[in-house]
Amino acid sequence: MTDNFKEKLTGLASQLDRSLNPLNSQEELGFLGKVDRQVTESDLEFGPTIDGDEPVVYSDTVLKHDLWSKNRGKEILEDTPALRDIYKCESIKTDEDKERRRQAELSTADFFESLFGLNTEFAENPHDAKRQQYMHDLMETEEFQQLRNDTVLDEYSSSLATVRVSEQWAKIQEEHGEEPGDPGPEGGFGKSAKDALDNAKEDIQDLKDAQRTLGGMGSGDTSRLGVKEIERVYKRIKNSKQLALICRLAGRYQNLAASSQRTKTLDGCEDVIGVTRTGDISQVLPQEIAFLGEDDLLELECLRRISESQAFAREHIGYEEQGKGPIVVVVDESGSMYGDPIANAKALALALYWIAKNQNRWCCMVGFSGGREGTYLPIAPDANKPDDLLDWLDHFYGGGTACDVPLRELPARWEELGCPAGKTDIILITDAYIKVPTEVEQSFNDWKATNEVKMTTLVLSQKDHGYGYRGENGYRDSLNAVSNKVHHIENLTVETEAVHDVLKV
């Protein structure tokens, strides 16, 4: 066998090995980062031998890691300038800088793994005893276990919480030194850990609000958005006080919307046609619920049937779901609505959008102010428009109020907007005292009848706020002439009774 033939045979064998075992090739592990140099004996740190046994090998991390979670710590540090600054590892010029950066990456990886990993395990003989103590105190707290409910196997939530915990750890190092084996302040790190967890919990709640508001574009299905998309949307919301407040309120309005939809009376429910099984406790037969007051065995059996959607409920027949048209939300953006009123109005609009999505209905969001052409955002049931929705939520005109957009422009643009036919619900939210001209009243009511439109109006009539308040006799010439129902309310909040009525569309 010639040398040339041997070389060809060896090359063929290597090719086959790379094909059958792609992860054996360093090129295939690019997502783990480049290996700058070969691992040598000097990279392995050994401790003293005990009674002639093998040397003790120290772990550079506190937790056990796979290569992905270890690399994730490096990525989080790279993506967070504030974290690099607090670790003092922004620039790398000397060997000391390199080591500080490496330790920061390892610490960040540990915190990420503790929050993300399904089954986290402590490594044997961790080199940094102080970090081990901090993580032990951290993971023992009840707050940490509650936080993990929201972060386990959720990459972006875990990354957010990791930044908070890492910041606290970096501060502890700065205050108490970095010597390995230093047990830290007397009494452990429990209090410091709780401070970090409180900050992380606030960030995660803001993220959940953003995900719930926009994560299935109203449906709550966050799986439709990738990690990078969620991160981009979340950062935009965090950087806008108005958007952050709206998203925070939207979660409460959405909970109320879900409750109102469950308890509303369905028109078209003709008859009971039989018995079905359900997991919705509001529909379960009284005979089933009665078992909850019996002995432990019957109560457990009842709870099991409900949790497995096997509890009995009446089955009805109805026709209301057919022929439902758009839900249109028209929000007054005049100057007197600034602050809490506009935030609550747009949070309510998001809840109505959520209902439209769940009912597979076309939706349109409209903003208006006096002398402005208005903002229009039509969204089909199968369409997702996160950026357009954020633009609409963050927009605010200011100025005065006129009825041009809701009563003239909206009907004129109806076909242009692509509104489908069917029973339509328009919800108008304003704080203005609007006198409707006779000709506008007639044309709008004719249009309503032609397009099967029902309009419900919320007038914010808080005394000394806006223009809706006109004393005892001030509402005779308001929007009653063009609305099917008008609610005059002092405050627009989740607790407002009129809001419950509106959310039963």
Give the C-alpha separation, 228 to 225, whole Å.
8
In a domain, 14, yes or no: no
Q: What is the pTM of this model?
A: 0.61
Where residue 300 falls (left for φ over 0; alpha for ψ -120 to 50; beta otherwise) is alpha
For residue range 190-207, list pLDDT tens digits in order: 566 677 777 777 777 777
The residues near 87 (Cβ < 8 Å, ≥ 6 apart) are 77, 100, 101, 104, 107, 166, 170
pLDDT of residue 447: 95
pLDDT of residue 138: 82
If asked whether residues 278 and 303 sit together in one domain, one would say yes
Helical spans, DSSP H, in 177-311: 190-214, 227-238, 241-263, 286-289, 296-307
If asked whether residues 335 and 469 sit together in one domain, one would say yes
Quote the DSSP letter at residue 80: -
Contact of 250 with 213, CB cutoff 8 Å: yes
Give the C-alpha separation, 348 to 494, whole Å.
9
pLDDT of residue 11: 52
If asked whether residues 378 and 285 sit together in one domain, one would say no
Q: How many H-runs (helices) and E-runs (strands) does the chain carry?
A: 19, 8
The residues near 164 (Cβ < 8 Å, ≥ 6 apart) are 196, 197, 199, 200, 203
Domain boundary residue among 214, 246, 261?
214
If asked whether residues 350 and 310 sit together in one domain, one would say no
pLDDT of residue 455: 94
In a domain, 449, yes or no: yes
Domain boundary residue among 281, 301, 317?
317
If one counts the domains in the chain, the total is 3
Domain boundary residue among 317, 350, 379?
317
If asked whether residues 161 and 286 sit together in one domain, one would say no
In a domain, 254, yes or no: no
If asked whether residues 373 and 495 sit together in one domain, one would say yes
Give average pLDDT by consecutive 10-residue segment, the chain, 505 residues. 53 50 45 48 49 70 85 83 79 82 87 85 85 84 83 80 81 63 49 72 74 50 53 76 86 84 61 74 79 75 80 68 79 90 93 90 92 90 85 89 86 91 92 82 93 92 49 56 88 90 90
Q: How far is CA 231 from the centre of its chain?
A: 10
Residues 170, 175, 180, 186: what is their CA dihedral angle, to the nearest 10 degrees? -120
For residue range 446-479, list pLDDT tens digits in order: 999 999 999 999 988 755 444 444 444 444 446 8
In a domain, 19, yes or no: no
Give the C-alpha separation, 40 to 125, whole Å.
20
In a domain, 184, yes or no: yes
If asked whether residues 287 and 364 sit together in one domain, one would say no
If asked whether residues 193 and 313 sit together in one domain, one would say no
Strands 271-278 and 363-368 come out as unpaired
If asked whether residues 302 and 328 sit together in one domain, one would say no
Residue 380: CATH number of its domain: 3.40.50.410
> What are the distances in angstroms from CA 227 to CA 218, 219, 223?
18, 18, 9
If asked whether residues 338 and 422 sit together in one domain, one would say yes
Provide the 3-class DSSP secondary structure of residue 25: coil
pLDDT of residue 367: 94
DSSP codes of every residue in 289-352 = HGGGGS-HHHHHHHHHHHHTT-EEEEEEE--TTTTEEEEEEEEE-SGGGTTHHHHHHHHHHHHH
If asked whether residues 111 and 207 sit together in one domain, one would say yes
If asked whether residues 300 and 430 sit together in one domain, one would say no
In a domain, 43, yes or no: no
Instruction: Write out the residue range of the structural domain in which residue 159 sits.
Output: 67-214
pLDDT of residue 16: 47
DSSP codes of every residue in 430-471 = E----PPPHHHHHHHHHHHHHTTEEEEEEEE--TTSSS----
In a domain, 148, yes or no: yes
In a domain, 286, yes or no: yes
pLDDT of residue 185: 45
